Chain A
Amino acid sequence: MSTVRVENIKKTYEKGQVLALDDVSFEVKSGELFGLIGPDGAGKTSLFRILTTLLVPDAGRAEVAGLDVVKDLWKIRQIVGYMPGKFSLYQDLSIEENLNFFATVFNTTVAKNYHLIEEIYVQIEPFKHRLAGKLSGGMKQKLALCCALIHEPKVLFLDEPTTGVDPVSRKEFWDMLDRLKARGITIVVSTPYMDEASRCDRIALIQKGKILELDTLEQIIARHAQNLYAVDADNRYNLMNDLRKNTEIVSAFAFGEEQHVTLPPHFQDEYLSAFLKEKGHTGIKVRKIAPTIEDTFIKLMLENQ
């Protein structure tokens, strides 16, 4: 059974000049933690705004929990929780006041659904009289999640919840999402961070309004197996230039200190070593590696250009 169903959604801005979503279709299963992974401007926020009834698509249809996003918008608003990418709670109200306000707006009380937010709320409770505008980034995130959860939503939409949050808080945040998933809440989350993809049940790689690939992380990587090598040498700048000039090489990208080089399938690592030696490089290190989601995304991106 699917909780979110998107069919051929199209959305343009500026009177059709800017294409934000181009014929997007996918489904999210009940109780799934679904990730939308893509760079800024890929169309993730537009998709969220359509699914949370804030935006009407130009074409196509979408359903959330069996309800049409255009026709049944009031019913959808009762059952979804939305955390926009930009912190949008009242900065001049305290933690407690924000939470109470959103609870009452959904015709419920904090006490009634406290079990849902308890784990998160205890972390910010010591500051409950502090104004939301004066909280740190991580605390704002936690408060926003509490407010999105307070009416016990069936589906939770989180738009880049971890952008601008420190690595420890990011990890904590994903742990919280795991626990919410265990309670049966369907979660759709977007992120520009590829490393967070591994925390999702299934992911959709999205770019320029199109879904490039949709599956579990392992499946996507397996489907796009590459003959990939990590290469390093003493003179890294020349190394990069030499690799890029070589027309045999499919792609070469800087990855931290190393270059990730994709070779055509039948090539061996000896080819790279010989090529670099010939170019006069010293301290050459070449090792075969398994592609990560980032490598796969770059490959898909190049293929779709």
Chain B
Amino acid sequence: MRNLVFLLQKEFRQIFRNPTILRMILIMPIMQLIVIPLAADYEIKHISISVVDQDHSTYSSKLVNKMTASGYFQLVEYTQSYAQATKTVGDGKTDLILTIPAHFERDLIKFNKAQLHLAADAVNGVRAGLGTAYAAQMIGDFNREIREEWMLLPKFNEMPQIEITSANWYNPHFDYHLFMVPGILAILVTMVGAFLTALNIVAEKEVGTIEQINVTPLKKHEFILGKLIPFWVLGMVSITLGMIVTFVIFRFLPVGSFFTIYAFSAVYMFGVLGIGLLISTFADTQQQATLFAFFCMMVFILLGGLYTPIESMPEWAQWLTRINPPAYFIKIIRAVYIKGSAFSDLIPEFLVMIAFAVGFNALAVFNYRKRSA
């Protein structure tokens, strides 16, 4: 116990003497929370569209007007030649081609039926998918409008229609930032916890100081606790800073309680520190540790549900997310921030957090052989 106090003293002294670590802890949350939610936006706007109009009728120009007026589409080309439009796609200047065939209006009136053709540049799958979906929806609307127009001719009775209205629970204004920010908070704590710890321990190996420590009567657990506790504190500081930044910039406060957030963060931090510890047991140089950390971070973020919803992943990937600690933590922070979940609602997740904390640390200690370090 007495030894631990001295180790902590030493550790904090070194951390406060290292401007890079302090800058990372202060600047990283601010930068990430300001830049990423503003830049990374799900909503796809400004889809470039080429219109191949071979009809030049009232209806065709009505349709084109409707689409460009929506704000989602940007007309980059209005031509008669499909070949010309495909060339524009090839040049990467347009995402979508809408072809209106000749006799579109005539067919529509005469046969009550006409065809349109949509082609999308699927290099960016998301853009192509959403673009065709938006376009299809608009064409559907257009279709309905025409029919309503015709119905006005008092031939039949009112046409039966189903209208759908939706309410967005918990995020009524569909604010994308409200979704992103808590997720980034979670990633932030993960980075501070796992990677600063790993780098710090590996640095002792690399510089050789661990050699001098190993010939002292310091015990394994004292050394490890001496490393974990300072970074646990830094992690908690980092999430506090993150929440302050979130409030200052986005005016978000958690709907749930701060207690729930801190309780989960406290346990989660130990799990994350365990990951850092584990990395440090098999990396001999800071370079190795950094590369490994990068790899982990990619997996954590991409399989963590930060950008892409876990529910839409293939089943095997969903299984992977179950052993991905940030996936849980992102979910928890979002639940508390947006939905206002209370601690009692998240008991199963809390148990998982404890399991991660115990599991990773046990694995790390098992792997860490002080004598041959």
Contact = CB atoms under 8 A, between A and B. Distances in A.
A82 B215 contact: yes
Contact of B215 (A77, A86, A87, A93): A77
Contact of A104 (B6, B17, B211): B6
A84 B211 contact: yes
Interface residues of A, number: 28
Contacts of A107: 2-3, 217
Nearest to B214: A54
Interface in B229-274: none
Summarize B's interface: helix, strand, loop or mixed. helix
B18 A53 contact: no
Contacts of A52: 215
Contacts of B3: 104-105, 107
A80 B216 CA distance: 9
Contacts of A104: 2-3, 6
A92 B209 CA distance: 11
A151 to B, nearest CB: 8
A73 B18 CA distance: 34
Interface in B2-41: 2-3, 6, 10, 13-14, 17-18
Nearest to B215: A82
A294 to B, nearest CB: 30
B342 to A, nearest CB: 44
Interface in A56-107: 56, 73-74, 77-78, 80, 82, 84, 86-93, 97, 101-102, 104-107
A77 B10 contact: no
B14 A88 contact: no
B124 interface: no
Given A93-B13, A105-B218, A55 B211 contact: no
Interface residues of B, number: 22
Contacts of B2: 104, 107
A147 interface: yes
A97 B371 contact: no
B17 A92 contact: yes
Nearest to A86: B208
B13 A87 contact: no
A84 B212 contact: yes
B215 A53 contact: yes
B347 interface: no
A86 B13 CA distance: 23
A93 B10 contact: yes
Nearest to A133: B207
B222 to A, nearest CB: 9
B168 interface: no
Interface in B315-341: none
A106 B216 contact: yes
B211 A88 contact: yes
Contacts, number: 66
A53 B371 contact: yes
A244 B372 CA distance: 46
Given A56-B372, A104-B6, A105-B6, A88 B217 contact: no
A77 B216 contact: yes
A63 B159 CA distance: 100
B325 to A, nearest CB: 31
A73 B371 contact: yes
Contact of A88 (B13, B17, B18, B209): B209
Contact of A89 (B6, B17, B209, B214): B209
Contacts of A55: 371-372
Nearest to A55: B372
Given A77-B216, A77-B217, A87 B371 contact: no
Contacts of A105: 3, 6, 213, 216-218
B87 to A, nearest CB: 62
Contact of A93 (B14, B208, B210, B217): B14
Contacts of A54: 211, 214-215, 371-372
A51 to B, nearest CB: 10
A104 B13 CA distance: 15
B217 A90 contact: no
A270 B207 CA distance: 57
Interface string B188-211: 000000000000000000011111
Contacts of A80: 215
A163 to B, nearest CB: 14
B14 A92 contact: yes
A157 B213 CA distance: 15
A56 B217 contact: no
Nearest to B18: A92
Given A93-B13, A93-B14, A105-B216, A88 B372 contact: no
- Looking at A53, A101, A106, which has the most chain B CB atoms within 10 Å of its CB? A101
B139 to A, nearest CB: 66
Contacts of B371: 53-56, 73
- Looking at B3, B14, B209, B212, which has the most chain A CB atoms within 10 Å of its CB? B212
Interface in A102-144: 102, 104-107
Nearest to B5: A104
13 contacts: A53-B371, A54-B371, A73-B371, A74-B217, A77-B217, A88-B210, A89-B212, A90-B209, A92-B18, A104-B2, A104-B3, A105-B3, A105-B217
Interface of A: 52-56, 73-74, 77-78, 80, 82, 84, 86-93, 97, 101-102, 104-107, 147
Given A88-B207, A92-B18, A101-B6, 12 more contacts: A53-B215, A56-B372, A78-B217, A84-B208, A84-B211, A88-B211, A89-B212, A90-B10, A93-B13, A93-B14, A97-B13, A104-B2
Enumerate the 5 nearest inter-chain pairs by beta-carbon distance, A residue then B residue, closest first. A88-B208, A104-B6, A82-B215, A88-B212, A105-B216
